[in-house]
Amino acid sequence: MNRNASTDHNNHSGRTGQPAQAKSAAVDRPWLADEFDRQGGGDTGLSATELQVLSRKGLWGLLAFLLAGVAAFMAQDFNLYRSLPETVLQILGCPPPETLVHLALAGYSFTVVVPVLIRIANGDNPQVGWRHLFCRAAFYLFYLASATLSENLLVVIIIGVLLYVLEQVGIWAYRSQHLDGSAATS
């Protein structure tokens, strides 16, 4: 019974609906509060230096994506399915149709564009991550597997570059809303 009473006491704080654990997380683990603020959950915005770091991170991601595009260009005539052993081909099955890869690319693009536009509209902290590099570069492999990379290489490059540009526009919009606006009012 004492255990339940202490659990109930620890699960609620004076604020409505906020667990005491979240309230004390900043005290027990200050790095967690910093990470929460960096992810956009805190009240503080990003500084000009942090925005510059995000912008550079996005540009490094763009460079890596373009380098993967160069590698894909050099391998565009490579037949992936002829080079694999028969046992692996039985596991993989037939190559994906080009139409399905197009649909996957369109779906991925939509899932990237919508959150970025929502962050821009709400004035939320921009986010740039390395996971998008791997997702975008995976479409080179998908088209290579479907044996249509030579026809669709420019499509993947253009969509990838446009998504990186949109992320940079999000950083620019945040900067113009928060930093330039606060400098003008001060």
Residues 22 and 74 in one domain: no
On whether both 39 and 53 belong to a single domain, the answer is: no
**CA separation for the pair 171, 59 (Å, rounded):** 12
Whether 76 and 100 share a structural domain: yes
DSSP 126-157: P---THHHHHHHHHHHHHHHTT-HHHHHHHHH
Q: What is d(CA 2, CA 126) in angstroms, rounded to the nearest whole number? A: 46
Regarding whether 129 and 40 lie in a shared domain, the answer is: no
Residue written as tokens 């690319």?
Answer: 105
- Is the whole-model pTM more than 0.85? no
In terms of residue numbers, what domain contains 32?
A: 1-44
Model pLDDT for residues 34-47, shown as the tens digit of each residue: 554 555 444 457 78
Distance CA 57, CA 52 (A): 8
Task: Out of 10-14, 51-55, 179-183, give the one with best mean pLDDT.
Answer: 51-55
- Pair (14, 61) in one structural domain: no
What pLDDT is attached to residue 155?
96
Residues comprising the chain, all counted:
186
**What digits encode the pLDDT tens for the residues 118-176?**
999 998 888 888 888 999 999 999 999 898 999 999 999 999 999 999 999 998 988 88
Residues 74 and 151 in one domain: yes
Of 107, 109, 111, 119, nearest to 54 by C-alpha is: 119
29 with 115, same domain: the answer is no
- Provide the phi-psi class of 106: left if phi over 0, else alpha when psi is between -120 and 50, else beta: alpha
Same domain for 68 and 116, yes or no, is: yes
